[in-house]
Amino acid sequence: MANTFDRFFSDASQLMKKSAIREILKLTQRPEMISFAGGLPSPDSFPIEDIKRVTAEVLEEEGRAALQYGTTEGDNKLRALLAERHKKDGLDLTIENIMITTGSQQALDLCGKIFINRGDVVLCGLPSYLGGLNAFSNYGAVMKGIPLDDHGMIPDLLEKAIVTLRKDGKNLKFIYIIPDFQNPTGVTLPRSRRLEIIRIAERHDLIIVEDSPYRDVRFDGTPEPLMSALDTRGRVLTLNTFSKILAPGFRLAWVTGHREIIDKMVTAKQATDLCTPPFVQKITARYIEQGLLDVNLKKTVELYRQRRDYMLKCFREQMPEGVKWTEPDGGLFLFVTLPPSMDAARLLERAIRKNVAFVCGAVFYCNNEGHNTLRINFSYSGEKDTLEGVRRLAEAIREEMTVS
């Protein structure tokens, strides 16, 4: 038997890192653990009875096709329904502008596969979604973080970074951005900034990858337009998912964009999994066609609004002075900032001993910053666990404050 297999592994595999979030989730399987770590939708939001009925209908009426291989692009009915659904967003799409993927994480991976050569620069939020950072880094991208404020990515800093990087001879490919209820911070990019960033991309000949998993999970305020709806040059590729609005176990998502880019992604996907499961696509298409998606989405949004409000109430009542947090209008997360002297990784060790878990904010920073930050999920836990979990976390923070 070989002592080590290192010499067999590719250069690309050496760049890969395990997801810190997935690793933390392994630690949270104990029944006594209250976890605010994962970006988990609540099982209370899953429309189990409707899915049972629709699944039976699909098997009865479309079983032979549903259990067969499908096209890489995706089920035509589902794509047509999504094109129709996007009309409310101001998008004029055909099915050729839409591709179905096996979760939006696959779409992120495909972006890396078709756009990135080793050493290319990807511009992203500072902080930004770990799954995106890992997907692009796996293909050798150099991630350049652009600081955020309470209104998202700061356009002036984005353009300055682009100019500086180009002067240094760097090859820039795209801007990766989560405009609505950003992961991990929960902030939303206003229309004016969306337009400004699109203009920057036009001036500097860049693509924008708009990651939009939380857009429909809005509790307050008026929806901002999709960046792809504001784009007039076909530079914006938008990633959408059913994970947050239907069920993550379906592993079903879709991408909208210019036909040339979609076609290249289809080619890349053919070498990955041939096609996203037709069975799941047909269930989802029928579910949408019967008007069930919007009915259940309203219930989900109300459930998450209540859970956000309750967690914010617990934070206000229990967190010690010096701790700050965001209060998002939607999505799944709060982002917490501790006093500068504190280390969230050390706090996590103490919190785990108290049977409460979170994700350290540093994993969302591509520049090794954010050590005094953490991300908290509010969608998964009910009131009892939220109250007790915040109490345990606040206690751990107070104890850590005395030693830091």
Place of tokens 């459930």: 303
Q: Measured between alpha carbons, how far is 357 from 375 in angstroms, rounded to an integer? A: 10
Tell me the C-alpha distance between 227 and 402, whole Å: 45
Are residues 363 and 227 part of one domain? Answer: no
Residue 5: predicted pLDDT: 81
Asked whether 131 and 19 are in contact (CB, 8 A), the reply is yes
Residues 111 and 140 in one domain: yes
- Domain end (from 292, 326, 344): 292
| Nearest 10 degrees: Cα torsion 33, 35, 41, 42 | 40
Same domain, yes or no: 175 and 87: yes
Give yes or no: residues 62 and 116 share one domain. yes
Number of domains in the chain: 2
Phi, psi of 11 (to 5 degrees): -60, -40
Q: Flag whether 207 is in a domain.
A: yes
Residues 83 and 217 in one domain: yes
Whole-angstrom distance, CA of residue 284 vs CA of residue 276: 12
Bridge partners (DSSP) listed for residue 376: 334
Contact status, residue 325 vs residue 358, Cβ threshold 8 Å: no
Which of 252, 276, 292 finishes a domain? 292
**pLDDT < 70 positions in the chain:** 1-2, 19-29, 404
Structural domain that includes position 254 = 48-292
**Contact between 123 and 158 (Cβ < 8 Å):** yes
Q: What is the 3-state secondary structure (H, E, C) of 77-121?
A: HHHHHHHHHHHHHCCCCCHHHEEEECCHHHHHHHHHHHHCCCCCE
Q: How far is CA 251 from CA 199, 244, 348, 377, in A?
A: 33, 11, 30, 20
CA dist., res. 256 & res. 93, Å (int):
8
Identify whether 10 is part of a domain.
Answer: no
Strand-pairing partners, residue 152, are: 149
Quick one: pLDDT at residue 20?
63
Tell me: do 266 and 160 sit in the same domain.
yes
Kindly give the interhelix angle for 104-115 and 259-270, rounded to the nearest 10 degrees.
100
Q: For every residue of 255-321, which 3-state class applies, written as one string?
A: EECCHHHHHHHHHHHHCCCCCCCHHHHHHHHHHHHCCHHHHHHHHHHHHHHHHHHHHHHHHHHHCCC
Q: Identity (one letter) of the amino acid at 364?
A: F
| CATH classification at residue 61 | 3.40.640.10
Query: What pLDDT is stored for residue 38 in this prediction?
Result: 87
DSSP state of 357: E
Answer yes or no: do 210 and 88 share one domain.
yes
CATH number for position 382: 3.90.1150.10
Residues 270 and 397 in one domain: no
Does residue 169 sit in the same domain as residue 284?
yes
Residues 279 and 339 in one domain: no
Q: Among all chains, which residue has been given the structure tokens 């090859």?
A: 171
Q: Which of 292, 319, 342 represents a domain boundary (last residue)?
A: 292
User: Buried b / exposed e across 140-158, counting CB within 10 Å, b at 16+?
Assistant: ebbbbbbebeeebbbbeeb
List C-alpha distances in Å: 32 to 299, 345, 356.
28, 21, 9
Segment 351-402, tens digit of pLDDT = 999 999 999 999 999 999 999 999 999 999 999 999 999 999 999 999 999 9
Single-letter amino acid code for the residue at 117: N
* Report field, pTM of the whole predicted structure over 0.85: yes
253 near 102, Cβ under 8 Å? Answer: yes
Q: Is the domain of 305 the same as that of 159?
A: no
CA end-to-end distance (rounded Å), the chain: 48
Asked whether the beta carbons of 216 and 240 are under 8 A apart, the reply is no
Report the DSSP pairing between strands 142-149 and 356-357: unpaired
Give dist(CA 73, CA 286) in Å, integer: 18
Q: Answer yes or no: is 117 within a domain.
A: yes
Q: What are the tens digits of pLDDT across the range 10-19?
A: 887 777 777 6
Instruction: Report the run of H or E that residue 58 belongs to, with start and end.
Output: helix 48-66
